[in-house]
Amino acid sequence: MRWSQAFIPTLRDDPADADAVSHRLLVRGGYIRQLMAGVYSVLPLGFRVRAKIIRIIREEIDAIGGQELLLPALHPREIWERTGRFESMGEILFTLDDLRGGDAVLGPTHEEIFTSLATEITSYRHLPQLWYQIQTKFRDEARPKSGLLRVREFTMKDSYSFDLDDAGLDLQFDRHFAAYSNIFRRIGVTAIPVEASSGAMGGTDSIEFIVPSPAGEDDVAHCPACDYAANVERATSTLPRIEDPVGPAQPERFPTPGVRTIADLAAFEGGAAGDRQIKTLVYVLDGEPVLVLLRGDHELQEQKLLDETGTVEARSGHPEEIRELLGADAGSLGAVGVEGPRILADLQLAERTNMVTGANIDEHHLRGVDVGRDIAVSEWMDLRTVVAGEGCPVCGEPLEVLRGIEAGHIFKLGTKFSEALGATVLDADGVSVPLVMGSYGIGVERNLAAAVEMNHDDRGIVWPVSIAPYEVVITVVKPDDDDTVTVADRLYEDLLAADVDVLIDDRAERPGVKFTDAELIGVPYRVTVGPRGLADGVVELTVRRTGERSELAVEDAQDVVANLVRSSR
């Protein structure tokens, strides 16, 4: 491609609203343009990168037996209601009415639609099956941000496996794990596999692939010593055991004027440190008010609460609901002697004695609380958020908490969708059984952005050769010099013939502008052709990633550059 004929609208300045490196550089480099919040046009350079990522994804999924389909983006509301996800995913669903008054959904994912197609599988002899598509998804994100990292319209490869039993699902899951690892390696990103919550997808196990980046929205607990990794929505840790002093025979009430928070009570004379307090939260889970108890210095991980209870809709209790339930305002709440609502307690409160908690009387608390004696806990569960420095659950070494981008997610769905939609087969004994399913997603544009987050410097993008829009740019220093143009054009044609993606910068611009643009858009190799070098029979090769420069004899340039590109792919 000749730069003079290409649409590459580079910008000198950063976009004002860019809050991520990838957002800033993809806009400045002429890869994308925003149409509206969370919706982007992909320009020619971006389209070329996107196409290469799709090719890599397709090759790896085909290699594990994937069969590519293309299913509709427009879905009937009814099928989403049958699985219960019209309610559980309602906040992000785009819905619309057709001319006949029927409700429709723009697909944010395709479990329901693939499962409905799988009802045509009737016998175990037709299993296993692995189907996938690369298609546009729609999610009504409340706060789209960071360019391509959180959007409302995007491309995703989603694949779905269908097996007779869990053993088959395990095999498909492991194959996808390996395929995803290959995909990330080939597109030039480091993705850490982490245990994750399945959320609205349901099922049993799930693994996220997280690319470390400050632009991400996922926090991951990671152990550098043993490589344990889990999303904080799922992570656990070990804590030192606390030896409680002997307390009174029963709780004692005492006034706490002005105390509203854990910190207030810790500073109050006669109060207690955060690790000796019981924090009481009121939540409404699928319409049912419950009490949630944690150690005072711990924070609730809400996704754990949803996962542990199987809740579809959850929210904090409103002030009037809290007062009606417990007779006091937040800041003075407790569970001692409470009957009626379920009481869900974090495991770190088990066997704790001589604790302090609210008395359910405004500005009063109780000391000397024995959790096992004084509180009728309905269920014990892991509810707290892991923080950096706590012990790894595997080896005991301190954990670190990393921020990262979710670049892919694989799920063991089990029979949730097949049972809801009647996707069954006859097994070897002639018994009808539901298909055992897996779901595996990877975002195309998100991985494009993740690659930029991991591959950039202060001058612009530094693309891996495997996904670069062009592998080589030929910079013509003086496009009005006949000898320079002749050599540059011949090298351009020779590289094209050698199957190299090459861009020739033949614009009537100053060399400094051309060099700056080439570094901004991130082409891995630059060959500079100018009168000064040609006088000595050489052109200059610059490696974008390292800045290394070398001179090549004109007659050797095509072979050297083509071989360098091939070895780097």
pLDDT in tens, 278-332: 999 999 999 999 999 999 999 999 999 999 998 888 999 999 999 999 999 999 9
Distance from C-alpha of 553 to C-alpha of 545, rounded to nearest angstrom: 22
- What confidence score (pLDDT) does residue 51 get? 98
- What confidence score (pLDDT) does residue 22 get? 97
Q: Are 550 and 540 in contact (CB under 8 A)?
A: yes
Helix (H) or strand (E) holding 104: strand 103-106
- For 33, half-sphere exposure in the C-beta direction (CA atoms, 13 angstrom radius) is 10
Distance from C-alpha of 19 to C-alpha of 9, rounded to nearest angstrom: 20
% of the chain residues with pLDDT over 70: 99
Tens of pLDDT along 142-178?
A: 899 999 999 999 999 999 999 999 999 999 999 999 9
557: three-class secondary structure by DSSP: helix
Domains of the chain: 19-73+107-214+403-453 (3.30.930.10), 252-381 (3.90.960.10), 470-568 (3.40.50.800)
Longest CA pairwise span in the chain (Å): 99
DSSP annotation of 455 reads S
Among 398, 362, 377, 364, smallest CA distance to 254 is for 364
- What confidence score (pLDDT) does residue 201 get? 54
Q: Are 28 and 15 in contact (CB under 8 A)?
A: yes
pLDDT in tens, the chain (569 residues): 999 999 999 999 999 889 899 999 999 999 999 999 999 999 999 999 999 999 999 999 999 999 999 999 999 999 999 999 998 898 899 999 888 888 899 999 999 999 999 999 999 999 999 999 999 999 999 899 999 999 999 999 999 999 999 999 999 999 999 999 999 999 999 999 999 876 655 556 899 999 999 999 999 999 999 989 999 999 999 999 999 999 999 999 999 999 999 999 999 998 999 999 999 999 999 999 999 999 999 999 999 999 999 888 899 999 999 999 999 999 999 999 999 999 999 999 999 999 999 999 999 999 999 999 999 999 999 999 999 999 999 999 999 999 999 999 999 999 999 999 999 999 999 999 999 999 999 999 999 999 999 999 999 999 999 999 999 999 999 999 999 999 999 999 999 999 999 999 999 999 999 999 999 999 999 999 999 999 999 999 999 999 999 999 999 999 999 999 999 98
Distance from C-alpha of 371 to C-alpha of 335, rounded to nearest angstrom: 9
170: three-class secondary structure by DSSP: helix
- What confidence score (pLDDT) does residue 17 get? 86
- What confidence score (pLDDT) does residue 88 get? 86
Distance from C-alpha of 308 to C-alpha of 302, rounded to nearest angstrom: 10
Q: Are 292 and 281 in contact (CB under 8 A)?
A: yes
Q: Are 92 and 86 in contact (CB under 8 A)?
A: no
- What confidence score (pLDDT) does residue 199 get? 63
Contacts 24+ apart (CB under 8 A), 307-311: 307/197, 307/198, 307/199, 307/233, 307/234, 308/344, 308/379, 308/381, 308/382, 308/383, 309/285, 309/344, 309/381, 311/285, 311/286
- What confidence score (pLDDT) does residue 499 get? 97
- What confidence score (pLDDT) does residue 99 get? 84
Whole-model pTM? 0.90
Distance from C-alpha of 111 to C-alpha of 478, rounded to nearest angstrom: 56
Contacts 24+ apart (CB under 8 A), 264-273: 264/331, 265/296, 265/356, 265/365, 266/296, 270/367, 271/356, 271/365, 272/296, 272/355, 272/356, 272/367, 273/297
- What confidence score (pLDDT) does residue 13 get? 92
DSSP string, 220-253: EEE-TTT--EEETTT---B-PPP-PPP--SS-EE
Q: Are 12 and 29 in contact (CB under 8 A)?
A: no
- What confidence score (pLDDT) does residue 375 get? 97
- For 201, list phi and psi in degrees, rounded to 5: -70, -30
Q: Are 66 and 161 in contact (CB under 8 A)?
A: no
